[in-house]
Amino acid sequence: MRPSLKKAKLSRLDQPVIEKSINGHKTYLIYIETIDGLYTPIGLQLPNGDGPFPVVLLASGNGGEGMKWIEEYSKNRRYTIDRFLEQGYACGWIRYRTEVELGYNNGGKLIHDKRQGREMFNRSPLEYEDEISIIEAIKQYDEIDAERVGLLGMSHAGEMILKLASEYHGVCAAVASEPASHEYLALNPDDSVTINPTTQLRDIESMQMQSTQKVRSRIDMKLAIDRIKPITTPLFIMGRDQDELQGIFRLSYELLEEQKKNVIWKSYNHNLHGYVYPLLGEDGDYIVNDVQKEAISDVLAFFKEHFGK
């Protein structure tokens, strides 16, 4: 028998659930156990009815900040959530551990072993592996249709979708909006990327990769294709016309298409990085224009096609 969100108790130690009203919306704040036994937070909302509901999980950026972030975004970045709820989808924000610089490239595949009767890994789990743990956990609830789970990830969270889709096939469909997939494509940056002298980590804030051809010439093509080949999840790659990383967004699509993956592409002319998640204005109304409405409508149509609803 599967557990029920609506009957969940805080005393459940495997996935503690707190029911909270955020701006008048019933939100299930859930702590999900990850691969190494630590917990990561999500905030899930259900549409009217009994379910089970298809679900779309929203993600943005490079992780960290915990439940405080979930509550803030559930309160102040909910325009897109409301559009999903109106269509009968469960929806909510997820969070995960902080991005590790080149952790995906340098760490290799996560290997599980045993030592002294306990688990031993060759490296720490990464943020996209937390997302896989979240997906598997929410599938266990009565209110969720385990066969219709979708993802919408923006920027680094868009790259995370490509990473997890390369090794995990439990998602019905996923949207990577402005995917900053330079690590996934094994990009060798140009001199627009510098090294922070204090931390010795790369500063990529000024990276200029508008040209698809430029990006194509600077990636490890064999490695990128090897990562793409296992993908079976239908994908929608969203670009942004004037973005400095548009070449990365577009090449992510082109390589998927060249490998005959189930993928579509569309780019939007908007000045906001993260246009798919409209911002809340100081007057309490969302700042949203026709381009954003079109983009969100396209995302909803994509999930409707693959959810069969």
Asked whether the beta carbons of 91 and 84 are under 8 A apart, the reply is: yes
118: Cβ contacts below 8 Å, ≥ 6 apart: none
Distances (CA, A) of 184 to 99, 137, 255: 13, 25, 12
- Split at pLDDT 50, 70, 90, the class of 12 is very low
Helices of type H across 139-289: 156-165, 212-218, 221-228, 246-258
pLDDT for the residue numbered 10: 42
Give CA–CA dist 130/57, Å, rounded. Answer: 13
For the chain, the C-alpha Rg in angstroms (whole number) is: 19
- 129-158 confidence digits (pLDDT tens): 999 999 999 999 999 999 999 999 999 999
pLDDT for the residue numbered 47: 96
- 203-225 confidence digits (pLDDT tens): 777 789 999 999 999 999 999 99
3-state secondary structure of 189: coil
Beta strands at 118-121 and 112-115: parallel, antiparallel or unpaired: antiparallel
What's the whole-model pTM score? 0.94
Q: Is the pLDDT of residue 252 over 90?
A: yes
Give CA–CA dist 249/107, Å, rounded. Answer: 24
pLDDT for the residue numbered 5: 78
Give the CA-trace dihedral at 212, 217, 218, 220, to 10 degrees: 110
Q: Is the pLDDT of residue 274 over 60?
A: yes
Average pLDDT over residues 259-275: 98
Higher-pLDDT residue of 247 and 189 is 247
pLDDT for the residue numbered 309: 61
pLDDT for the residue numbered 50: 86
Q: Is the pLDDT of residue 8 over 80?
A: no
Distances (CA, A) of 169 to 103, 234, 251, 260, 302: 22, 10, 22, 17, 18
Task: Name residue 175's beta-bridge partners.
Answer: 152, 236
- Split at pLDDT 50, 70, 90, the class of 11 is very low
Give CA–CA dist 296/80, Å, rounded. Answer: 7
Where exactly are the structural domains of the chain?
15-307
pLDDT for the residue numbered 56: 98
- Split at pLDDT 50, 70, 90, the class of 190 is confident
Q: Is the pLDDT of residue 13 over 60?
A: no
Q: Is the pLDDT of residue 15 over 70?
A: no
Asked whether the beta carbons of 45 and 90 are under 8 A apart, the reply is: yes
264: Cβ contacts below 8 Å, ≥ 6 apart: 235, 236, 237, 302
pLDDT for the residue numbered 88: 96
Asked whether the beta carbons of 27 and 20 are under 8 A apart, the reply is: yes
Q: Is the pLDDT of residue 9 over 60?
A: no
pLDDT for the residue numbered 14: 58
Per DSSP, 98 falls in state P
- 39-54 confidence digits (pLDDT tens): 999 999 999 998 899 9
Give CA–CA dist 281/274, Å, rounded. Answer: 15
Tokens 């996560």 found at: 110
Per DSSP, 6 falls in state G
Q: Is the pLDDT of residue 170 over 90?
A: yes
Higher-pLDDT residue of 85 and 22 is 85
Give CA–CA dist 182/252, Å, rounded. Answer: 9
Topology of domain 15-307, CATH: Rossmann fold (3.40.50)
List the helix and strand counts (H, then E) for the chain.
Answer: 9, 15
- Split at pLDDT 50, 70, 90, the class of 7 is confident
Higher-pLDDT residue of 191 and 165 is 165
What percentage of residues in the chain have a pLDDT greater than 70?
97
End-to-end CA distance of the chain: 26
